[in-house]
């Protein structure tokens, strides 16, 4: 697998470099050039990511497509990249979603077009960097740098309370990540000067140190996931972000938090992870059940989907801290599936918002009469969001519930309530927005989806269906890596 070892660098730097080029097309006359260039960049980004899937060796848990260069000698920092079964799919997911976001912005964003597109492309590269970095400082660099474009996206192109949301988002995440930085520096000292994540996995640590490290990483990743009770930035950020921002937030950045648990918390502090699993499971279940009820009470569509995201991410963290392979794989499948479904949900809301400029559920009703094609997709994705079998939403939830059943019946019971709650809040929203009589003149004037929107929604629908019917290609990729991780965690670091 060492043959094409420049691939990962390409997935990071192609979008970033194209993004910087787009930034130069800032004149009004160059808007279309900027759009074409950005689309080209995002497609190129996906093209360079596809060989990862083709060339990936499913039978190995080791890092693949490895790149390693000495970078900052003074602190023994390396430019080290690699993917395993846990991270590979997210690179693809991110590269794919970036294309959707660029298309979604095509006509909608008309101010500071080049900056908007450039921000998304640069962020796409940085997010790929987060998933493939195997050096802790490199990881941290991408992890933090990502905040800058996201802050600007929410703050410049967002809704009325955008500045509040952007600042809240930034400061919440910054506090978490700086605590993580402190933990990384501590580990650097313990390992006698290494920032290699693999070294952190191996280094023996006492229980107190493990607990503190676990909590420091937890502070960082729990905010990103987000877990209850540090989730409050997410509804604000989602509601105020432009459609593209919401899509990237829900589909990708939330996954980074969960990915962090698998890459840092559990292998570096396995005994602490066991000791604190009760807390993690409790927080996850609260997110699933309580936030599910909160979603039920929303009158704003974006807020509803945002709360639904928190609830679904609760499934992911629940799966992880069950410490069995169904749980973790189920969590991973749920992450990918939620990446598709939440992206689709936010795109659907975007389609309506672009036409009516309202996100209130009460501003709609009877959309099916004027937008039949759109209604088809909206209902389909709503079904997927509530976990209908044969859609990808079902697979992950089912696996996690199975995993939970092995550990404790009541965990499984509580988690399973989401099948009811999820269906309740999603379908109720669909009923109020899509079905019924035409509610007002705005709805009467609606035009159905154009081909640009159709392409986005159809491609996501196909993926959701494919993953729901035949999830094997996805689980095959992660299987060996997850088993290796579980073995490592089971060994522990004490004694």
Kindly state whether residue 71 participates in binding other proteins, applying the rule CB under 8 A: yes
- Report the distance separating Cα 338 and Cα 336, nearest Å: 5
Toward other proteins, which CB reaches closer, 112 or 373?
112
Q: What is the bridge-based pairing of β-strands 77-83 and 64-72?
A: antiparallel
Task: Give the contact letters, 4-43, x = binds to other proteins (CB under 8 A), - = no.
Answer: ----------------------x-----------------
Task: Give the contact letters, 183-202, x = binds to other proteins (CB under 8 A), - = no.
Answer: --xx-xx-------------
* Among 65, 90, 120, 170, interactor with other proteins by CB under 8 A: 170
Q: Which stretch binds other proteins (CB under 8 A): 97-105, 166-174, 319-327, 345-353?
A: 166-174
Angle at 418 between CA 415 and CA 424, to 5 degrees: 165
Kindly state whether residue 72 participates in binding other proteins, applying the rule CB under 8 A: yes
User: Residue 79: phi, psi to the nearest 5?
Assistant: -90, 85
Instruction: Give yes or no for a cis peptide into 226 (omega within 30° of 0).
Output: yes
Kindly state whether residue 282 participates in binding other proteins, applying the rule CB under 8 A: no
* Among 155, 257, 314, 339, interactor with other proteins by CB under 8 A: 155
Task: Give the contact letters, 107-146, x = binds to other proteins (CB under 8 A), - = no.
Answer: -----x--x---------------------x--xx--xx-
In the complex, the smallest distance separating the C-beta of residue 89 from other proteins, rounded to whole angstroms, is 26
Task: Give the contact letters, 74-113, x = binds to other proteins (CB under 8 A), - = no.
Answer: xx---x--------------------------------x-
Kindly state whether residue 466 participates in binding other proteins, applying the rule CB under 8 A: no
Tell which residue, 171, 307, 162, has the closest CA to residue 242.
Answer: 162
* Among 12, 46, 166, 430, interactor with other proteins by CB under 8 A: 166
Toward other proteins, which CB reaches closer, 174 or 388?
174
Binding site for other proteins (CB under 8 A): 26, 69-75, 79, 112, 115, 137, 140-141, 144-145, 147-148, 151-152, 155-156, 162-163, 166-167, 170-171, 174-175, 178-179, 181-182, 185-186, 188-189
């Amino acid at each position: 697998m060492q043959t094409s070892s420049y691939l990962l660098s390409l997935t990071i730097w192609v979008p970033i470099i194209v993004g910087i080029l787009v930034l130069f097309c800032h004149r009004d006359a160059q808007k279309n050039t900027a759009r074409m260039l950005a689309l080209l960049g995002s497609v190129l980004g996906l093209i360079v990511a596809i060989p990862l899937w083709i060339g990936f060796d499913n039978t190995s848990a080791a890092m693949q497509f490895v790149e390693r260069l000495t970078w900052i000698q003074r602190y023994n920092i390396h430019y080290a990249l690699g993917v395993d079964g846990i991270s590979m799919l997210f690179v693809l997911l991110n590269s794919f979603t970036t294309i959707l976001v660029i298309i979604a912005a095509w006509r909608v964003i008309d101010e500071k077009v080049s900056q908007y597109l450039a921000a998304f492309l640069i962020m796409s590269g940085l997010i790929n960097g987060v998933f493939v970095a195997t050096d802790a400082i490199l990881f941290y660099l991408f992890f933090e740098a990502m905040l800058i474009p996201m802050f600007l996206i929410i703050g410049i192109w967002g809704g009325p309370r955008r500045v509040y949301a952007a600042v809240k988002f930034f400061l919440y995440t910054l506090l978490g990540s700086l605590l993580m930085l402190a933990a990384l520096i501590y580990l650097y000292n313990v390992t006698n000067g290494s920032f290699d994540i693999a070294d952190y996995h191996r280094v023996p640590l006492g229980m107190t140190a493990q607990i503190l490290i676990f909590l420091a990483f937890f502070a960082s990743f729990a905010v990103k996931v987000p877990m209850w009770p540090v989730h409050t930035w997410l509804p604000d950020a989602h509601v105020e972000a432009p459609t593209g921002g919401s899509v990237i937030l829900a589909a990708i950045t939330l996954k980074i938090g969960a990915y962090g648990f698998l890459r840092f918390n559990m292998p570096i502090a396995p005994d602490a992870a066991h000791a604190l699993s009760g807390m993690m499971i409790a927080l996850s279940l609260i997110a699933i059940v309580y936030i599910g009820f909160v979603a039920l009470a929303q009158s704003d569509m974006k807020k509803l989907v945002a709360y639904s995201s928190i609830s679904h991410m609760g499934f992911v963290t629940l799966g992880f801290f069950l410490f069995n392979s169904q749980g973790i794989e189920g969590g991973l499948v749920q992450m990918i599936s939620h990446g598709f479904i939440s992206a689709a949900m936010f795109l659907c809301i975007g389609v309506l918002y672009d036409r009516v400029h309202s996100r209130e559920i009460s501003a709609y009703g009877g959309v099916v009469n004027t937008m039949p094609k759109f209604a088809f997709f909206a209902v389909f994705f709503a079904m997927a969001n509530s976990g209908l079998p044969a859609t990808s939403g079902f697979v992950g939830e089912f696996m996690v519930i199975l995993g939970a059943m092995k550990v404790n019946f009541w965990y499984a019971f509580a988690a399973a309530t989401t099948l009811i709650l999820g269906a309740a809040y999603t379908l109720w929203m669909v009923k109020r927005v899509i079905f019924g009589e035409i509610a007002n003149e705005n709805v009467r004037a609606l035009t159905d989806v154009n081909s640009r929107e159709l392409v986005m929604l159809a491609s996501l629908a196909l993926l959701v269906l494919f993953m729901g019917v035949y999830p094997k290609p996805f689980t095959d990729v992660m299987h060996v890596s997850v088993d290796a991780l579980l073995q490592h965690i089971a060994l522990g670091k004490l004694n």
